[in-house]
Chains A and B, each alone.
Chain A
Amino acid sequence: MSIKVHQLTKTYGSQKAVNEVSFEVATGQVLGFLGPNGAGKSTTMKMITCFLPPSSGTAEVAGYDILKAPMEVRRRIGYLPESNPLYYDMYVKEYLGFLAGVHQLGSKSKSRIAEMIELTGLQREQHKKIGQLSRGYKQRVGLAQALLHDPEVIILDEPTAGLDPNQLVEIRSLIKSLGRRKTVILSTHIMQEVQAMCDRVVIINRGNIVADDTAERLQQNLQQEAVWRVAFKETVDLKTIQRIAGVKQARQDKQAWILTAAKDADLSAAIFNFAKEQQLTLETLVKEQSSLEEIFQKLTN
């Protein structure tokens, strides 16, 4: 286990920002940390990275306790904070050089910096001041900063916030490739992101973990009913449509009908037979997946 979080708690006054959160992440796993704004994602990450001291509980990173051996933990973590703070007056190379010094990379500094610049695609911007870069490039500098010392554990707080669609794809594939060798925790509130990058999802709400599973299984387990979208060429009224065997509920959505049935009922055959009986022309017949968005809403509302 690369990361073991044990009953981590952070209280601000009487408010519990993070409430006895426990989870583990294995080496080579990408964990998506999901939750609405203010759920406690960032606070949890700040505690794991030794920035904020926990009110109680602890965590272990690469075998080192965050309270007992914070320096060892810091050496092994690459961290990209939420707002991607950077020194805007520094040049890209100067900034990475400064951090190489902080990490005491010594003679490896130059090659590591060159590697990071290539990995994050900063070649053309490497001689610019950080403040002159566009948002996407600043994010890359932030990532280069987090990866510079080749850490075992990478913690990224909303790494894709504010990127354009092309940059999103690039950064996601970068993170995914990192996940093969390293342990990654990333927070986000975008569901596709989780589906695209993460092996596992932890959903947190108001400081409590409400789900911890793979994205697929979450989707399956939380689905209590199957939803079908059907459209006929002819007009059909509600009474007729409810004759379809197994339909619990039906409502009209523009030209189509949205039919709800039990989770494992197979409506397609019934609908097809119904169309034949009534001599209707079937135009659309789709089983709708309840999206992770809906699951997220269900869990966090």
Chain B
Amino acid sequence: MWSIYKKELNAFFSSVIGYIFIVVFLLITGFFVWINPDSNVLEYGFASLDVLFSVTPWVFLILIPAITMRSFAEEISAGTIEILATKPIKDVSIILGKYFAAMTLVLFSIVPTFIYFYTVYELGSPKGNLDSGAIWGSYLGVLFLASAFVAVGLFASSITKNQIVSFVLAVSLCFVMHYAFDMVSNLDVFYGRFDAFVQQLGMSAHFISIGRGVIDTRDLTYFLSVTAIFIFFTHTSLESRKW
């Protein structure tokens, strides 16, 4: 698994993909947190990073499928999957190697935003007057969300040899998993009866819940389950060898 992990991570950073991912993520979140007049922290007047954590899922929704789209689709179209699959390595190790490589890239992009955290911490009046628990919780939420998006992205990539199909499919799936349940819960059919239940099916509700700074095992279980399910789907798709 670590051989695959190393190879994937090298692939990110020997091409521009890895750098673009990190730079674009920081540019977009930086714009909303510091520059955009409607949302920047400086004019908002409150020492909080809520903006960062409401923008991040949207940015990941596009960026994560962009880094996972090639993971299997490229191996399938180039035929290198035949090399990997005939080596003494389990399919699940191939998938996990790619999963951890993508997660490492996500981590590299999140770490620089600790500067935002530090700045807002310093800007607080009095200094340090902000809800650190909520912020750490939100960071954890971001990681779990990214984990689910990566798993969805890997799955989308494993069922096609076309990277564009893989990308579009991953974005759509992530969007549906993240927001659609929230929106649908407001439909008359559900409203007032099942809306809370329907909301709980989506990632958004769990992401917000973790972001409050209270770690609820149900939220963690939810994200880990989504990740595990999509890794399982990816495995099934690879095993079937139907490309």
Interface residues of A (CB under 8 A from B): 46, 49-53, 71, 74-75, 77, 79, 81, 83, 85-90, 94, 98-99, 101-104, 145
Contact = CB atoms under 8 A, between A and B. Distances in A.
Contacts of A46: 82
A120 B174 CA distance: 46
Contacts of A53: 241
Nearest to A91: B14
Interface of B: 2-4, 6-7, 10-11, 14-15, 78-90, 241
Contacts of B84: 102
A89 B16 CA distance: 12
B79 A101 contact: no
A85 B80 contact: yes
Contacts of B4: 102
Contacts of A98: 3, 6-7
29 contacts: A46-B82, A51-B82, A51-B86, A51-B241, A74-B86, A77-B86, A79-B83, A79-B86, A81-B82, A81-B83, A81-B86, A85-B78, A85-B80, A85-B81, A86-B80, A87-B11, A87-B78, A88-B78, A89-B14, A90-B7, A101-B2, A101-B3, A102-B3, A102-B4, A102-B84, A102-B88, A103-B87, A103-B88, A145-B83
Nearest to B83: A85
A94 B88 contact: no
Secondary structure of the B side of the interface?
A: helix
A87 B10 contact: no
A74 B84 CA distance: 10
B79 to A, nearest CB: 3
Contacts of B90: 71
Contacts of A86: 78, 80
A85 B82 contact: yes
A87 B11 CA distance: 10
Contacts of A101: 2-3, 6
Contacts of B14: 89
A150 to B, nearest CB: 13
Contacts of B88: 71, 74-75, 102-104
A144 to B, nearest CB: 12
B6 A81 contact: no
B94 to A, nearest CB: 10
What 7 A-B pairs have minimum CB-CB distances, sorted nearest first?
Answer: A85-B79, A101-B3, A74-B88, A85-B80, A75-B88, A49-B86, A81-B82
A74 B87 contact: yes
A130 to B, nearest CB: 11
Given A51-B241, A75-B88, A103-B88, A89 B15 contact: yes
A81 B85 CA distance: 11
B73 to A, nearest CB: 14
A191 B88 CA distance: 33
Contacts of B11: 87, 89
Nearest to A87: B80
